[in-house]
Amino acid sequence: MSDSANSVYDWQQIEIFTRQILGKKAFRDVCVFWQDATGGVPDSSKRPVRLYIVNDGTCPGPSPSAGSSVKCVKLCKRAVMPDYPRNTIIGSKKSRITHRFSLVLLVEYENGEFKVISLPRQLSALGSFCGNSVMAFSELISPVTGSAVPQRRNASELSEKLTLVSENNILSAFEYVLTFPLDTFEPRINPIDLENPTLQSTILLSNLRYESDVAEPYLAPAGEGSFVWTTAVDFILYEDITIKLGIDQDIVVQGLTE
Amino acid sequence: MKGLSCSDINTGWKPVAHEDDRNAPMQENPIQDPGSMEAKGRDPENGFLAFQHVQEILCMLREIQNEIISLKQFLMSMGNLDTVPNAMKKRKLRKRRLL
């Protein structure tokens, strides 16, 4: 670069548009798919969701055949619903992340057969085996009302909830909601900045991992006095959730453009 | 624990939704919130809307003022009407005394 180009007199006013990060928070090893202890008394740790996966080759009846039990379950895909996860500021004190997803599981049976299960679309309450699409039962759905049984957890100002979302009477997604105080952002966010019309957020989901354990055979009620043989499988899902809040900024500098 | 060979999911920057409606009235009523008034003043479109709002208020005030003036005039005329019969009564009384 020549001396004349380096001269201060050649500098010009340059306006730069950028996004200023107001605060960031990373939640590590968040369990987004769990089940509360039965009886409504939550214990200190989250329990895996118990899935009663229908055995291969069994049909519901008063004395059904056992069929072939589940050998192992693998997570093929976790599909995130469009426009999710999303962030909501509640007043000036709390922030909420809402995350909707569905799961695609690959099930291997003892007889060597494989099946693909889509949850929660093919999930049903224990005692209601309605239609051939049902592939698994869960206590996340009430056998009495047929609606979702929300799983809740409150610990040190963090509030978590897992429920199911239905669209047109079809279970379409699991919904995980995490509510936390705004002062957990690092650095702390000035309440005035929350009124900024350019306030935006970005959420990063990373490091998704799961645990699946085949537990035991289970003769599940299928309604109207019939039963169906299933295999109880414990399934739990973890991931890291990082959220950033930012605002638009115009910065004016003195310098040279290339 | 098994990891899943899927890429990270990044939503990108999105506007933040505000759930609590405590902020909404403050934005709707700029008189109560000088900060939002300043913010609106910076936006030319919002400034024009605020100007229109002030114009409407001024028109309403002018109408009210005109009504008050007309009401005053009416009351004055009513007062004059009342005073005339009183005067007449007084005059009549005087006449009676004289008689």
Residue of chain B whose alpha carbon sits nearest to that of A205: B9
Please determine, for residue B38, whether its predicted confidence score (pLDDT) is greater than 80.
no
Q: Which residues from chain B sit within 8 angstroms of residue A78, using beta carbons?
A: 4, 6
Average pLDDT over residues B7-15: 89
Interface contact flag, B2 A209, Cβ < 8 Å: yes
B49–chain A nearest CA distance, Å: 17
Please tell me which residue of chain A has the smallest CA distance to B7.
A206
User: Which of B2, B4, B23 to mutate to test binding with chain A, by most A CBs within 10 Å of its CB?
Assistant: B4
Question: What is the tens place of the pLDDT at every residue in A155-191?
Answer: 878 999 999 999 888 899 999 999 999 999 999 998 8
Which pLDDT belongs to residue B33?
35
Per residue in A199-243, pLDDT (tens digit) is 999 999 999 999 999 999 999 998 888 999 999 999 999 999 999
Q: How confident is the model at residue A146 (pLDDT cuts 50, 70, 90)?
A: confident
pLDDT category of residue B27 using cuts at 50, 70 and 90: very low
The whole-angstrom distance between B14's CA and the closest CA on chain A is 5
pLDDT at B26 (0 to 100)? 37
- Tell me the two tokens of residue A213: 């354990």
How distant, in Å, are the alpha carbons of A192, A199, B30, B36, B41 from that of B46?
Answer: 20, 18, 11, 11, 7
Query: Is B45 in CB contact (< 8 Å) with chain A?
Result: no
Instruction: State whether B14 and A86 contact (CB < 8 Å).
Output: yes
For residue A205, the distance in angstroms to the closest alpha carbon of chain B comes to 5
Predicted pLDDT at A5: 54
Between A176 and A3, residue with greater pLDDT: A176
- Partners of A75 on chain B (C-beta within 8 Å) are 2, 4
pLDDT band for position B20 (50/70/90)? Answer: low
**Contact: A92, B16; criterion CB under 8 Å:** no
Whether ipTM tops 0.90, in short, is: no
- pTM higher than 0.90, yes or no? no
| A209 contact B CB<8A | yes
Query: Is pLDDT above 60 for B63?
Result: yes
Q: Which residue has the higher pLDDT, B42 or A196?
A: A196
User: Which chain A residues are closer than 8 Å to B19 by Cβ?
Assistant: 88-91, 96
Judge: A202–B11 Cβ closer than 8 Å, yes or no: yes
B24 to chain A: which residues are within 8 Å by CB? none
Could you give the CA distance from residue A194 to residue A211 in angstroms, rounded to a whole number? 38
Residue B46, pLDDT > 70, answer no
- How far apart are alpha carbons A97 and A84 in whole angstroms? 9
Say if residue A144's pLDDT is above 90: no
pLDDT of residue A42: 57
Considering only residues B59 and A252, tell me which one the structure prediction assigns the higher pLDDT.
Answer: A252
CB-CB under 8 Å, A203 with B11: yes
One-letter-per-residue 3-state SS of A184-251: HCECCCCHHHHHCCCCEEEEEEEEEEEEEEEEEEEEEEEECCEEEEEEEEEEEEEEEEEEEEEEEEEE
Q: Which amino acid is at A217?
A: P
Query: Averaged over B59-76, what is the pLDDT?
Result: 85
Q: Which residues contact A75 (CB under 8 A, 6 or more apart)?
A: A103, A104, A105, A106, A210, A212, A237, B2, B4
Judge whether A1 is closer than 8 Å to chain B, CB to CB: no
